[in-house]
């Protein structure tokens, strides 16, 4: 889907070769491309315009064209500038000096407030604190019920008063928190449109009544150009203290991050990534910059690998590799671990450059992995350990058992043989530089 940004810039710079520095005369085409990249990532057009103007000054005067890789140079300037604008990794919640810390969650319908409330509760509980969840969404059917279930899942108490008003529930929550020694209070407010005057007024009342330490604006990471209008209005009404971006576990480029940050100047405190209640991450401006530029996200990829790979198994495997005992069983384990990391196509997208040339038109055949699994599953343990005993009749049996053909079994065995040979070679050259081969 995404054309590799490097490829695009290469195209522009080919024309500019031999010009030395970027000058006002030749910079415009580059900047048009920058603008387009940002717009395609859903950065608001005004924000994009300002950004381009700012980065243009930075890019001019740099000796980018003398460099062998002018595209990389400009991309680096862009990347750094984007990361700088999106702020710091500091995602501390403002804590109250005295009494419980009050966190108020606000945003449009469906932006992910209730799920975030659960995640925050879990986060604070894990830190040894005692959160109280407050159901202040009396608008959406079963929203209170949803928060109750979420509270149960994370083992945190929920204050729900169906007959009350949102303002009263929040006021009451402060008393409850003091009595039951809760040090964190989280208000889950109803989703509302920023143009709904009455409901926006309600938020202002909650703010005035309870004086929260932290007001978070929860925004869908897939939002388009309208992100600035919404953020601006919530800012005007509430002067919120921080931003949380949700649903970035999809493939949206997330330009809204830059838009909202630029228009409000407030810090992005968390990324709420996924439906599981521990999917709450710190915001990393540099990763977000890469994402907006469509450059992939190698850091997240590595983190996922770390999450999915069993350390113990990896160590054992390393030993086996050294002793040249890598078997089909180990091969199967490796496949399983890669599968744990998520769908192949998603993983490939995170690899810088994989969005572009090398992978263009390449379809990842998840089915192929299923066949491999089935074939190995149809072998006896003995066969997996000593593939050389696989004669014709065994191969036929395996093909039948796995619903594949003898050819496919042969193909797998050939690939496995090649892998073993490669490993032997690596062993001869030593495993230097690859201390822990995990997949």
Footprint of another protein (CB under 8 A): 1, 36, 39-42, 44-45, 49, 108-112, 114, 139-143, 145-150, 153, 193-195, 220, 222-227, 229-230, 247, 249-253, 255-256, 275, 342-343, 345-346, 366
Query: In whole angstroms, how far apart are CA 384 and each of 323, 330, 341, 371?
Result: 17, 9, 24, 16
Q: In the complex, what is the shortest distance from the CB of residue 180 to another protein, in angstroms, rounded to a whole number?
A: 23
Q: How far apart are CA 165 and CA 172, in angstroms?
A: 10
206 or 257: whose CB is closer to another protein? 257
165 or 209: whose CB is closer to another protein? 165
Instruction: Annotate 305-362 with DSSP letters as a single string.
Output: HHHHS-HHHHHHHHHHHHTT---HHHHHHHHHHHHHT--HHHHHHHSTTTTSGGGTTP
Q: In the complex, what is the shortest distance from the CB of residue 313 to another protein, in angstroms, rounded to a whole number?
A: 22
193 or 437: whose CB is closer to another protein? 193
The answer to whether residues 241 and 233 touch, using CB atoms and an 8 Å cutoff, is no
36 or 316: whose CB is closer to another protein? 36
Q: How far apart are CA 260 and CA 373, in angstroms?
A: 46
141 or 392: whose CB is closer to another protein? 141
Q: In the complex, what is the shortest distance from the CB of residue 108 to another protein, in angstroms, rounded to a whole number?
A: 7
Name which of 134, 91, 89 is nearest 114 in CA terms. 134
Q: In the complex, what is the shortest distance from the CB of residue 113 to another protein, in angstroms, rounded to a whole number?
A: 9
Q: In the complex, what is the shortest distance from the CB of residue 224 to another protein, in angstroms, rounded to a whole number?
A: 3
Q: In the complex, what is the shortest distance from the CB of residue 31 to another protein, in angstroms, rounded to a whole number?
A: 13
Encode burial over 55-73: b for 16+ CB neighbours within 10 A, e otherwise.
bbeebbebebbeeeebbbb
Name which of 209, 201, 214, 6 is nearest 102 in CA terms. 214
Q: How far apart are CA 72 and CA 419, in angstroms?
A: 34
153 or 415: whose CB is closer to another protein? 153
The answer to whether residues 277 and 119 touch, using CB atoms and an 8 Å cutoff, is yes
């Amino acid at each position: 889907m995404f054309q590799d940004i490097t490829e695009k810039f290469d195209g522009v710079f080919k024309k500019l070769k031999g010009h030395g520095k970027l000058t006002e005369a030749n910079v415009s085409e580059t900047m048009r491309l920058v603008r387009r990249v940002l717009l395609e990532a859903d950065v608001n057009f005004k924000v994009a315009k300002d950004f381009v103007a700012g980065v243009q000054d930075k890019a001019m005067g740099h000796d980018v064209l003398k460099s062998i890789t002018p595209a990389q140079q400009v991309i680096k300037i862009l990347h750094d500038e984007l990361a700088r604008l999106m702020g710091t990794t500091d995602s501390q919640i403002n804590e109250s000096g005295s009494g419980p810390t009050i966190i108020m969650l606000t945003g449009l319908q469906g932006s992910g407030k209730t799920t975030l409330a659960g995640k925050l509760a879990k986060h604070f509980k894990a830190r040894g604190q005692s959160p109280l969840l407050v159901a202040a969404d009396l608008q959406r059917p079963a929203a209170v019920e949803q928060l109750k279930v979420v509270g149960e899942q994370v083992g945190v108490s929920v204050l729900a008063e169906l007959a009350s008003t949102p303002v009263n529930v929040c006021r009451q929550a402060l008393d409850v928190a003091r009595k039951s020694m809760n040090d964190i209070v989280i208000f889950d407010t109803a989703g509302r449109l920023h143009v709904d005057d009455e409901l926006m007024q309600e938020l202002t009342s909650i703010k005035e009544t309870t004086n929260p330490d932290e007001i978070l604006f929860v925004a869908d990471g897939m939002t388009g150009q309208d992100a600035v209008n919404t953020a601006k209005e919530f800012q005007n009404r509430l002067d919120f203290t921080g931003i949380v971006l949700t649903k970035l576990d999809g493939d949206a480029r997330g330009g809204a991050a830059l838009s909202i940050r630029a228009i409000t100047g407030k810090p992005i405190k968390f990324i709420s990534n996924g439906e599981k209640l521990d999917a709450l991450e710190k915001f990393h401006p540099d990763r977000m910059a890469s994402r907006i530029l469509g450059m992939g996200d190698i850091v997240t990829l590595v983190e996922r690998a770390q999450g999915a790979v069993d350390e113990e198994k990896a160590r054992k495997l390393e030993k086996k590799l050294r002793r040249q005992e890598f078997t089909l069983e180990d091969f199967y384990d490796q496949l399983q671990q890669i599968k744990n990391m998520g769908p192949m196509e998603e993983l490939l997208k995170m690899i810088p450059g994989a969005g572009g040339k090398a992978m263009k038109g390449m379809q990842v055949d998840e089915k192929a992995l299923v066949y491999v699994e089935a074939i190995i599953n149809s072998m006896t343990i003995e066969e997996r350990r000593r593939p050389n005993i696989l004669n014709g009749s065994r191969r036929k049996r395996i093909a039948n058992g796995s619903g594949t053909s003898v050819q496919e079994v042969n193909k797998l065995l050939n690939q496995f043989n090649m892998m073993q040979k490669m490993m032997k070679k690596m062993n001869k050259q030593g495993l230097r530089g690859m201390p822990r081969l995990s997949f």
